[in-house]
Structures are given as C-alpha cells and as structure tokens.
Amino acid sequence: MEQDRGLPELIDTLRWRWKLVTVIALAWAVGATLGAESLPSKYDGKAVISFAPRRDARSASSDTVRVIVPKYIEYITADATIDRVSGPLDADSSELGKALSAELTPDTGNVTIRVRLPDATRAARVANAFARDAVRYSRRDALLTGEIVAIAVPRSRATFPPRRLLEAIGLLVGMLVGIATAVLLERGRPRLRNWRQIADLTGYEVLGRIPPSRIVANQFRDGFKDPVIASAFRTLRANLEPRLQEDMDVLLVTSPRTEEGKTTVTALLGEAFSRRDLKVVIVDADLRRAELSQGIVRPGKGLAGILNQTGRLSDEIQRGWAPNLMILPTAHADDAGDLLALRFDTVVAELRDQFDIVLIDCPPLLGMEDARTIAPFASGIILVVAAGSPPEPVNEAVLTLEALRAPLLGIVANRIRTPTEFSNY
C-alpha cells in the first residue's frame, strides 16, 4: 500500500516544494556553467595512419596486421618516441606525453593519433609529426608498411571541455539534489497537503474543500464571483444543512493557528446561507485581530463595545455585502478573554432570537484562551485547516475541542489544490 502511494506522494511533494527544487537546480546549473566556462579550451589534432602488409612479404596477412599494429601504438606513445619527436618541435616532452593518445580502429589497420593542446595549429602540427615518425619507423618493418591517410588540420572549434554537456549534467544533478532535499524536508517537517491526510489525522469528516483563488486572496467578499469558489461553498452549505435541522443555529468557525483562512470561510459560508433566504449574522469575535471588521466598523466598538456595556446590539449590527446578511463587527480589545467570558453568552442569546443562523468568526484555538472561552456557547463548531499546515497543531486543536466536549461538526480543508483547480489558482 505504501509503495502504491510513493509516486503520488513524490508528485505532491514536488508540487509544494517546486520553488526549492528550482532554486537548487538553477544554483547547480549556474555553478556548472561558471565552472565549464572557466576551464581552458583545448583542440584536437588528429592524424590517421593505415598499416597494410608489404607486397613483397608473402607471409604477411590480415592476421599479421592485427598482431603487429598494436605494437605501433606502444611505439608511438613510448617515452623515447615522445622525447625524440618533441625535440625538433621545441616542446615539453611531459606536456606532449599527457596530450598524446593513439588507438586502433577495431578489425582494421588504421591507427588514429590524437594530440589535445590549447592551440589548434600546434595540436595539428604535433599530431602530424608523430604520424610521420611512425611511418618512417614502419619502413624498417619487414612485414607491414604504414601510410598517412588523413593529416591533422587545425580545428576551429574546441574539443574540450564539452561545456554544453557539463551544463546539462549540472542542471540534472541539481534537479536530483533538489528533489532529494525536498523529500527529506517533507519527511522531516511533514505537512498536510490534501483533504484525505486531514481526514486521516483528525478522524473527522471533511465538510468542504475550498480551492485557492486569486479573487478571494484579493478580497474575500468577492468570493462568489469565482465560480469554483462559489461551488465549493454551496457544497459546504449542503453538507451543513441537515445539521441545521437539529436546532444547530449557532456555528463557530475557528482554526488551529492564524493564517488558516477561517475569516474567509466564515464570511463566504455566511453569504452561502444568506442566498437560501436565511437571515444570517456574522459575529466578529476575534477581538485581538478583527480581520472581518476591517473597513466596516463604525465609530462605535461593535461587539467590543457591547461587551464593555458601552454600546447596544441594535446599534452595532450592520448590513453585510449580500442580501439577508448582517455583520456584528468589533474593535480591538486587549482584555478580550475576560470580556468574552463575562457577557458573550448574552449576546449570542439575543442574536439567536433575531436570526436563523449565527456564524461566529472565532480566534484560533492555540496560543490564546478566547476560542476555548466561547466554544461552549456554540451548537456546532467548524475547524478550518489550510493545506500545508503541520500536523501537530491540527491534532492539538482537535484534542482541545474534544477535551472541552465541544460539538465539532467536521473540518473545512482550505486552499486545497486538485488538478481541475490549477487553472483557477
């Protein structure tokens, strides 16, 4: 079973870690390019000698060629030959020894002499010098004779280093290193990448899968202008509607940590319910961040003012951006935990009498006590978990709600990518 999941998990890892893989691959490619460009260019001088039996050597045959010609290769590359040929060329014999090579073409009498030097003209001249020396040496051979069939000519293009090949290898190695790094990071710091992993970890039903959207990222109140987002929230609404028939009219939306998208989910879920001709009020109970209230709170303090007994509920509720949707915004309050503990239940009771559904945008569960304080006042709780979240805080949030015996209805998997949703990302 684990083997079957190997390739999909690797693809999922690359989808999430592609930036890291790209950076590492490009770094290796740049390094390989710089390294290849820094290497000195070298040119091959190549001469070909053909050995054949002498006409007057009756005992010589093709077998004689195969036996004797390898000895010529040994002769050409011998130190004594290199010392002798390098003298007239005014060349360093040790340099020529490293630059010289000779090889026999299989099943033929052709010997290729190759000299690799930084100067193309010099490489050709040295290769021809060794070829002429080998031909002169063959004149003393009673069985074989050698003839230059291809003289070395200066090459216009460098033979070494193979820069394009080195660059391609650098890019390939970089990609492999990047993939390996991504896999190690994913295993060392795992993330919840899809809704199945979220469901397996929490043990709760995934009520909705919300894809990422540029429209929502820019302004969540325009979410229903994106047909994919609209469809996702209609599905979430449909999954929740049977629960509403069980006198579940106060829904609390929270998340394990910040930046999970709970405010966006609360806002668009409220709009989804309002489109069913239900009277909906969204309460911004996140008195420390108040993201839902940005741009709509009036000079009064909204929920914070009501809890401080400096405002009235009827004065602080405002019309929302959709029909049948109302908003109870709030202002920042440093003593949020105490205020919520003292009077929030009274506010909820009044709202239940006036609206069909009360949606509460609650602070995150971990790191502060606010969500734990108001969770008992909800008839149903929705936990928002964003793709890419680490499993530990999600698991801790679920255990926290279970310890409070809070009615956790299920999970909303936020920013979940699927193949059909890539075009909307």
Residue 206 has pLDDT above 70, yes or no: yes
Query: Is residue 156 domain-resident?
Result: no
**Same domain, yes or no, for 99 and 218?**
no
pLDDT in tens, 75-104: 999 999 999 999 888 888 999 999 999 999
Q: Would you state the pLDDT for residue 352?
A: 92
Residue 8 has pLDDT above 80, yes or no: no
- 7 and 58 assigned to the same domain: no
What are the residue ranges of helices labelled H in 189-226?
195-202, 214-218
pLDDT value of position 62: 73
Between helix 120-138 and helix 62-76 the angle, nearest 10°, is 130
Asked if residue 58 is part of any domain, the answer here is yes
In this structure, are 297 and 390 located in the same domain?
A: yes
Percentage of residues in the chain having pLDDT higher than 90: 59
- Does 221 lie in the same domain as 119? no
Per-residue model confidence (pLDDT) at position 424? 39
**Looking at residue 298, what is its pLDDT?**
60
Same domain for 361 and 229: yes
- CATH value at residue 252: 3.40.50.300
**CATH classification at residue 102:** 3.30.70.1130
Tokens of 403: 């310890």
Return the pLDDT at 421.
Answer: 43
| Residues 85 and 209 both lie in one domain | no
Residue 61 confidence class, pLDDT cut points 50, 70, 90: confident
Task: Establish if 335 belongs to a structural domain.
Answer: yes
Q: Rounded to two decimals, what is the model's pTM?
A: 0.65
Instruction: State the CB neighbour count (10 A cutoff) for residue 351.
Output: 21
Which range marks the domain in which residue 409 is found?
192-424
| Domain edge (last residue) among 96, 123, 150 | 150
* CA–CA distance, 148 with 166 (Å, rounded to integer): 34
Domain identity same for 265 and 389: yes
Residues in the chain: 425
CA atoms within 13 A on the CB side of 374: 34
CA distance 228 to 206: 18
Based on the domain organization, do 117 and 173 belong to the same domain? no
Distance (Å, whole) CA 355 – CA 348: 10
Residues 269 and 366 in one domain: yes
Residue 192 near residue 385, CB atoms below 8 Å: yes
Are 385 and 413 in contact, with CB atoms under 8 Å apart? yes
pLDDT in tens, 251-287: 999 999 998 999 999 999 999 999 999 999 999 999 8
For residues 199 and 170, state if they share a domain. no
Kindly tell me the burial class for residue 165, based on how many C-beta atoms sit within 10 Å of its own C-beta (0-12, 13-18, 19 or more): exposed
Q: What is the mean pLDDT of the chain?
A: 88
Percent of the chain clearing pLDDT 70 (strictly above): 94
Q: What is the mean pLDDT of residues 320-346?
A: 88
Q: Are 324 and 293 in contact (CB under 8 A)?
A: no
Query: Which amino acid, 193?
Result: R
Q: Is residue 155 part of a domain?
A: no
107 and 241 share one domain: no
| Average pLDDT score over residue span 39-54 | 92
> 291-311, pLDDT tens digit by residue?
888 766 565 678 988 888 888
Q: How far apart are CA 372 and CA 394, in angstroms?
A: 15
Same domain (yes/no): 407, 265: yes
In a domain, 67, yes or no: yes
Work out how many domains the chain is built from and give that number: 3
Least confident of 269-273, 312-316, 361-365: 312-316
The pLDDT value recorded for residue 131 is 95
Four-residue CA torsion sign, 148, 149, 151, 157: negative
- On the question of pLDDT at 419 being above 60, the answer is no
